[in-house]
Structure 1
């Protein structure tokens, strides 16, 4: 039995509109005659596993609840190891992932017999893995092109140097605000404790 539907919206930076796809998700929900029980919205990199709103959604969800996203890359641009961790966490909670760009997942909203449900779960799992791998490749390709652009800019004397990692600073602040210790933040982000302390002091 399908229970609640939770929508997850993500953008990589503060300059991007994380709520851009909200109307599309609402239209999809209307077509399928389902109600979105909650919205989880954040500006975090899809290549990072430590996303507070996504983790909060997963913690709140119960078996057969639906995690609704616009595209699989909104859920993951993770490397293989981190995607396995996230995928296992989602499966262990019995959460069904439904993505607008993954038509096979749409059937998971409907209640069916046990055989059909298991078959669709298996098919959807394979398709999710494939699209997650494609999203990761797109991410690494884009990063490579950026690196090539920096090399060219340096050669032309136009490169300004490395700027502060504002995304990481914001992530550390959010994790600290959520009550996590320095050790917990270190384990989740891999950032040195001295850096964590400096960032937290910098942002008050």
Structure 2
């Protein structure tokens, strides 16, 4: 047997192959450059637990540039924060009994009614029921046959299904798209 064709490489060579592979070079290019079998390179990689950290591509710069993009995002954030705080103030006033739940955004009515029923007593709960069922007849489903108010999750589901088209429009769903949602 002619051993002159054997491709036995030194440990220093393998250490360099490993460093370059872990730095991101492909196995195929290293196998060609150092004249080692690709299968042998993969075996060494597996047996010696070579590790290549995941490289994350940098986020591409927006067309308008980072400064304008960041200012626009800051404006969006501040607007969203102001809107959330305004809703929080309305919810807080209604939950403390300082305001009627009539001003509460529709999607939060179930949560507020449940809280008011638990914390403000049966008289407030009865007034809330009279107001809501007059304003929204579908809301009668909020209460069971014994007159007990459902839990907030159930109330949210009733509200969503009774106002399905309004929700779909608010979410930007075109007619005919994703008809099974919600």
Give TM-score, length-normalised by structure 2.
0.27
Structure showing the higher strand proportion among its residues: 1
Give TM-score, length-normalised by structure 1.
0.25
Radius of gyration: which is bigger? 2
